[in-house]
Structure 1
Amino acid sequence: MISFLVGVLMSNAAVVPAQAATKSVPATDAATVKRIKQTLADEHVNGVVVVNGQHNQPEVIMNTVAGAQGNHKLTGNSLFPIASLNKSFTGIGIQRLLNQGKLKRDAKLAKFFPQTPNAANITVDQLSKHTSDLQDIAQDSPKIMKSDRQRLNFAQHNVTATGKYTWTYTNANYALLAGILSRLTHESYEDWVQTNIIKRAHLTHTKHYDEVNANQIAWGMNADNGPTTLDKLQKTMTVMYGAGDYFVSAADYWKYVTAFNAGKLVKLDTVTKQINPNGSEFQYIDGFYFSPTGKYCAYGSYSNVFNSAVFSNYHTKQSLVMYTNNIPYLQSKDLANRLAAIYYHEQ
């Protein structure tokens, strides 16, 4: 099991420190923090939750289960493989190209990567919304690929085209979008992320999958359910070009969505105008699941042990990020939904 996630976007706004230009958002009240902490403890979850704190800073809520020591303990700054939460980085880049008129939603994949199955009939819009009809074949690689070219070639030859054009969650969709982003910006995907995501959002604990050491990672508690070595984890992440190839701390991811909500990364209406007000509760747009009510969310999972989620409201500017590493994906997803209900005072 690899991922389930998100996407966001970006404008040409100047780099501005998030705190200096962001209107103060009320901090999470003590009673809500206590309920979140108690819920993690009651369910024996080894995890970390980050919410709005004082002065637009992240408030970190941790729960550590018995036996979680060293690299098993999760903190606000622990490096964590975020899986599909990564897709939003690529979504930002694609939206910037659309806003700048350098790319069109109806542009055919064949214009960029004609070797991909059914490329002549697949559009950029379909890739971004997972309606391209492509499906992943392999979920990892026998070797760690080092170059964008290798990873793009893998993505193009590691898919099958069904011809149905129904919604199918496929990592290759965002790998191909990352390739388009790299081609049109004339820089590597990693360099683009460094300049346009990490520096703009002032992230300090965000690293590409080949930049980390094993002792920097918050490893899963259930060794039988996931990778036990950096080599195994990187062989999974290497195939997720533009879709799940970054380690990000919980506090950094909170800063990232906070920058998005503040309009630092994209004009919000270029995203929200795509929401169908009469559609389903959540609609997938460039990597995030958006609701007509103003909320959006995303989920990520690697090997059923590294699980992550984000819930945010771009109206109220409230954001909750949750990472867990000792419970399976479906349990973690359910927990994230319940914590969000507590956070937004819906229960």
Structure 2
Amino acid sequence: MKLAERLNQLFCEKFEQGLFSGNVLVAKGSKALYTGTFGLANYDSEEKLTIQSLFELASVTKPFTAIGIMILEEQGKLCYDDYIQKWLPDFPYPEITLRQALTHTSGLPDYMELFKSHWNHQCIATNVDVIRLLAEHRPTLYFKAGEKYEYSNTGYVCLASVIEAVASMPYSSFMQKYVFAPAKMHRTKVMNRRYKPENVEDFAYGFIRTSEEASFVLPDELLAYDFVKYLDGIQGDGMMHSTVIDLLSFACALRNGDLLRASSLDLALAPVVTEDGQRTPCGFGWFIDTIPSLEMRISHSGGWPGYSTILACYVETGYTIILLSNIENIDIQENMSDWLQQMEQYIVESDKKGL
């Protein structure tokens, strides 16, 4: 069985089992080897997904934010070892650098926990509010900056605010000018659809599968997910929206040097060793590992109520795997990781057979 047939069989099966709704793309270089579309863009209206459907990327936004900082460094407008406070004077931790925020070694506390306790949940917060609440409450750092590794959404919110301060333009405008346009990402956008509603054609709404069989509900309707509303104005750690086609264009632009110099990319893909001697799993915005027979993989996954996403690029072998899901069930993140491994195995076996 050929690679495309095996991939299609895998996702048809997962769709029929109620485990997957979304879009899939596997490519080598710029050539798509397989694309698949499964399920609905809106489980209320029953509008179907298309290959151009726009999904919320969740934390797959982070590599883009990191690239924004790197572009500004290439332009000579900032340095990685600048203190965040240089660009955000109200930021209350003078010892934390851009590099530490990029590599999840800042020790910054989780802003989402701060907003649970210290925010009016009837109001929608923005990045300005994140910095303000950090300054007002100054929660204790998880550890001394640079000492350890711990994944941080807060760091990437701060990086988006730094981009705005340095570039003197909104984060969304900067991304459009310096990343989306050069990468030919025609439908991709930074969007806060609850904070600033807009009509978007072919939008994949993220739904939660409830305990009732085959029942799908928007997270906005569930009290347990009320944070999707009051955190909706925050950017940098999430809120980018894209398609599988655009994400392939991004992967190609990155490989071709259309976004960054080779020396910058090399730096982004170098894992960091913290002060406690721990080798971290990430560089600037990417998780980095090695997959047998596929060599270096740079990837990021994302999860936000209704959405699960994966972008994986295989640096030496030229493959790209993209998974965008718009239903959430209890095991979706674990399932997506398992499916990625299965897809990688199919690619390796296909290469060996020359299919």
| TM exceeding 0.5 | yes
Unaligned runs of 5+ in 2: 212-216
Describe the SS at the equivalent of 1:60. strand
Deviations 1:26-74 (A, max 9, x none): xxxx811111111112333223211227974584222349x96855744
Q: Could you tell me how far 1:150 is from its partner in structure 2?
A: 4.2
Query: 1:255 and 1:71 mapped to 2: Cα distance?
Result: 29
Cα–Cα, structure 1 residues 330 and 144, in superposed 2: closer, same or farther, change >3 Å? farther
| Letter paired with 2:57 | I
In structure 1, which of residues 217, 221, 239 is the aligned counterpart of residue 204 of structure 2?
Answer: 217
C-alpha distance in 1 between matches for 2:4 and 2:39: 16
Partner in structure 1 of residue 232 of structure 2 = 237
For 1:52, the equivalent position in structure 2 comes to 27
Question: Match of 1:343?
Answer: 347
Deviations 1:287-343 (A, max 9, x none): 11123643211100003x410001112333321101123342222222223223323
Please report the TM-score for the alignment, with normalisation by the length of structure 1.
0.77
Q: CA deviation at 1:235?
A: 3.3
The whole-number CA distance in structure 2 between the counterparts of 1:320 and 1:133 is 31
The one-letter code matched in structure 1 to 2:335 is Q
Q: CA RMSD in A?
A: 3.5
Q: In structure 2, what is the equivalent of residue 132 of structure 1?
A: 106
1:180-329 to 2 correspondences below 5 Å: 180-207=162-189, 208-210=191-193, 212-213=198-199, 216-220=203-207, 222-223=209-210, 227-228=219-220, 233-239=228-234, 241-273=235-267, 275=269, 283-291=281-289, 293-303=295-305, 305-326=306-327, 327=329, 328-329=332-333
Distance 1:125 1:54 in 2: 30
Change (3 A) 1:101 1:55: closer
In the alignment, the residues of structure 2 paired with residue 222 and residue 273 of structure 1 have an alpha-carbon distance, to the nearest angstrom, of: 41
Q: Which of residues 329, 332, 345 in structure 1 aligns to 2:336?
A: 332
Larger radius of gyration: 2
Q: Please give the secondary structure, in 2, of the residue aligned with 1:163.
A: coil
Q: Does 1:174 align with 2:168?
A: no
Instruction: Go from structure 1 to structure 2 and tell me whether the alpha carbon gap of 1:339 and 1:72 turns closer, same or farther (over 3 Å shift).
Output: farther
SS in 1 for 2:298: strand
Structure 1 residue 81 corresponds to structure 2 residue 56: yes
Q: 1:329 to 1:274 in 2, by over 3 A?
A: closer
C-alpha deviations, 1:100-148, integer Å up to 9, x for none?
A: 332222212222234334x221111110001101121426672564865
Structure-1 separation of matches of 2:134 and 2:149: 19
Contact 1:83–1:246, Cα closer than 8 Å, also in 2 = yes
Q: 2:77 aligns with which of 71, 78, 102?
A: 102
Q: 1:263 to 1:221 in 2, by over 3 A?
A: same
Change (3 A) 1:203 1:272: same
What does residue 7 of structure 1 align with?
none
Q: 1:54 to 1:270 in 2, by over 3 A?
A: closer
3-state SS, counterpart of residue 206 of structure 2: coil
The alignment of Structure 1 onto Structure 2 pairs a total of residues equal to: 314
- SS of 1:218's partner is coil
1:281–1:291 contact (8 Å) kept in structure 2: no
Q: Distance in 2 between matches of 1:160 and 1:329?
A: 30
The correspondence for 2:9, drawn from 38, 45, 60, is 38
Question: Structure 1 regions of 5+ residues with no counterpart?
Answer: 1-29
- What CA distance in whole angstroms lies between the structure 2 residues aligned with 1:278 and 1:113? 25
Between stretches 74-83 and 211-220, larger displacement belongs to 211-220
Between 135-144 and 225-234, the greater mean CA deviation after superposition: 225-234
Single out whichever of 333-342 and 176-185 deviates more from structure 2. 333-342
Name the stretch that deviates more: 42-51 or 207-216. Answer: 207-216
- Pair 1:149 & 2:123 matched: no
